[in-house]
Amino acid sequence: MSDWKPKRFWKEATATACDGGFTVMLDARPVRTPAKAPLIVPTMAMAEAIAAEWDAQEGLIDPRKMPVTRGANAAIDKVRTQRDEVVALLAEYGDSDLLCYRAAGPEELIALQQKGWDPMLDWAEAQLGVRLAVGVGVMHVEQAPDALAKLYSEVAVLDDFALAAAHDLISLSGSLILAIAVTKGGISVEDAWGLSRVDEHWQISQWGADEDAAAAEMVKRAAFFDAARFFLLSTG
């Protein structure tokens, strides 16, 4: 049984409206999540993207090539069942945001962090009413309770599908501010990813690239872009 792998059994995957939203039919059979819940998503755009992923499968089903399906499964099976915990987990990143922890040196890295990260903290102040404190090194930087409360509200207002996207945007970048800026159109996905890798890219510029590390970064980058796309699909 351990060698069993799911194979394509359907001729056509189609997106369709249903009670509570939109779903995907494999011929006459509705798609379900791994936990056997009905796969009902908030927008037709998302359902169409999922249908396209299922239609693209040939032979054995490869979930690695189905990021929108995976995101919907996570929203339904994981986020929905433990929503309060997910909101709290993601909001906690505001108290340890990547943008707030600066290098003590060298000057070139300090300047790169200031150039890239300071404008995002300014954006958060202007657009969210949140000003986060900045420190040097890895010691915890205490943030104002009202700032953390506002960031919590930004996370708590998201629906289950947007939360699933936010989880990956935040955890992959290490920054709640960058993730919120991506979802609000305050920064491009490409630029946000670049800002989240300032330290790593500076190290590469000094010492050269490591093949394994570069491969791992490409996987994370793809997941970050997939999360941004999933967020957009969740809003239509």
The DSSP call for residue 50 is: H
Specify the CATH class of 82-234 in words: mainly alpha
Query: Fold match between 13-81 and 82-234?
Result: no
Mean pLDDT of the chain: 96
Token pair 């207002």: residue:
157
Residue that the structure tokens 């799911």 belong to: 6
For residue 232, the model assigns a pLDDT of: 98
Q: Break the chain into its structural domains and give their ranges.
A: 13-81, 82-234
pLDDT (tens digit per residue) in 50-98: 999 999 999 888 999 999 999 999 999 999 999 999 999 999 999 999 9
What's the Cα-to-Cα distance from 218 to each of 66, 197, 213, 224, rounded to whole Å? 17, 12, 9, 10
Topology, domain 13-81: ATP12-like (3.30.2180)
List the chain residues with pLDDT less than 50: 1-4
Q: Which two tokens stand for residue 90?
A: 């993601």
Task: Please tell me the predicted confidence (pLDDT) of residue 1.
Answer: 36
